[in-house]
Amino acid sequence: MTRSWLGRRLLLGVAQSAAVLVLVFVLTEALPGDAAVALAGDNPDPERIALIRSAMELDRPALERFLGWLGELLHGDLGRSLVTGRPVSGYLADGLGVTLLLAALTLALLVPLALWLGMLAARREGSRLDRLISSATLAVYAAPEFALGMLLSTVLALRLGWLPPTAVGGVAADPAVLVLPVLVLLARPVCSISRLVRAGMIEALARPYVAQARRYGVPEWRVRWLHALPNALAPAAQQLARTCDWLLCGVVVVEALFVLPGLGSVLLDAVAARDVPVVQGLAVVFALLTVVLNLGADLVARRFAPRTELTR
C-alpha cells in the first residue's frame, strides 16, 4: 500500500518534470526578441541580426533545437551562454552560494519561529495573545516584500544607520549585510506558516484523541507537542515546501533591492541579455527543484496524515 503510493508519487514527479521541460522551452521561445537582437546593439541592422542568428543556429526549427537541448540536458550539459560562451553551470555556481546562504539562514530561523508563534497563539483560542499574534501576522503577511524591504532599509539602515543598506561590498566582507534581506525574507513565510500551525493546533486540540490523552494523564506538553502538533503539521509542511522553493528560485526582488549576487540576479541579467540558454538552464534547475521539494513535502505530510491519498 505504502510502497505503491510511493511508486505512484515518484511517477507523478517524473511526469511533472517532463512537462516542465517542455514548458520551459516553449516559454523561453515565447520571450519577445532573441539574443541576436540584443547582441546587435542599440542600432540594429537587419542583416547583422540575421548573421548573428545563423551563427547561433537560432534559425533552425524549434523542434530540432528542443531535441538537441533535451539530449544535452540528459547528459547533464546545460549548454553555454550565447553572450559570453561560458557554460550555464558556471552561471549557476556564481549565484548559488549567496542564494543557498540566504535560504539556509532564513529556514533555520523560520521553522522554530513559526512553530513557536503558532503554538503560542493556539494556547488559548481567542485570548488576548492569540488576537495580538493573529492580527500582527495578518498585517505583516499583507505587506509585499519590496515595500517591507524599502521600509526596513529606510528606517534601520538609512535613518538609524544600524545596518548596511546593501551588500555592494560583498557578503564575506561584512556578514551584517545579510540581516536586512533575511528579515524581509522571513516576514511573510513566518506569518503564513505560523497561522497554519495555529489553525491546525486549534483543530487538533479539539479532537477526541486529545481529550483521551488528557483523560489518561498525559502531561500537557506531550499533549501539545506529540499528540496535537503532528496533526497540525501536514498543511504547514506543504507551505514550507513552497517557501523553500521561493527562497531557492525566486527572491529576485529582495536580491535586487539589497544588491545581492544570487541566482535571482543571475536570472534577471540573463533575461535582460536575451541569453536563452542561461534562462532555460536556470528555469530547468528551478523547476526540478520545485518538483523535488513538493515530493519531499508530500512524504512529510504522508507521515503525519497517513490516510492521505494522491489527488488525481
List residues binding another protein (CB under 8 A): 1, 207-209, 211-213, 215-218, 222, 226-227, 230-231, 233, 303-307
Q: How far is the CB of 4 from another protein (least distance, A)?
A: 9
Q: How far is the CB of 214 from another protein (least distance, A)?
A: 10
Contact yes or no for 301/231 (Cβ under 8 A): no
Q: How far is the CB of 212 from another protein (least distance, A)?
A: 4
Q: How far is the CB of 129 from another protein (least distance, A)?
A: 21
- CA 255 from centroid of its chain's CA atoms: 13
Rounded (5°) CA angle 178-106-154: 45
Q: Which residues contact 214 (CB under 8 A, 6 or more apart)?
A: 220, 223
Give 8 or 60: the residue with its C-beta nearer to another protein. 8
Grid coordinates standing for 110?
A: 523560520
Alpha-carbon dihedral 62, 67, 69, 70, rounded to 10 degrees: 140
Rounded (5°) CA angle 256-259-262: 75
Give 234 or 284: the residue with its C-beta nearer to another protein. 234
Count how many Cα atoms sit within 13 Å of the Cα of residue 72 in the half-sphere of its side chain. Answer: 16
Give 233 or 283: the residue with its C-beta nearer to another protein. 233
Give 233 or 284: the residue with its C-beta nearer to another protein. 233
Q: How far is the CB of 136 from another protein (least distance, A)?
A: 27
- Burial class, 71, CB count within 10 angstroms (exposed 0-12 / middle 13-18 / buried 19+): exposed
Give 31 or 206: the residue with its C-beta nearer to another protein. 206
Q: How far is the CB of 231 from another protein (least distance, A)?
A: 5
Give 60 or 222: the residue with its C-beta nearer to another protein. 222
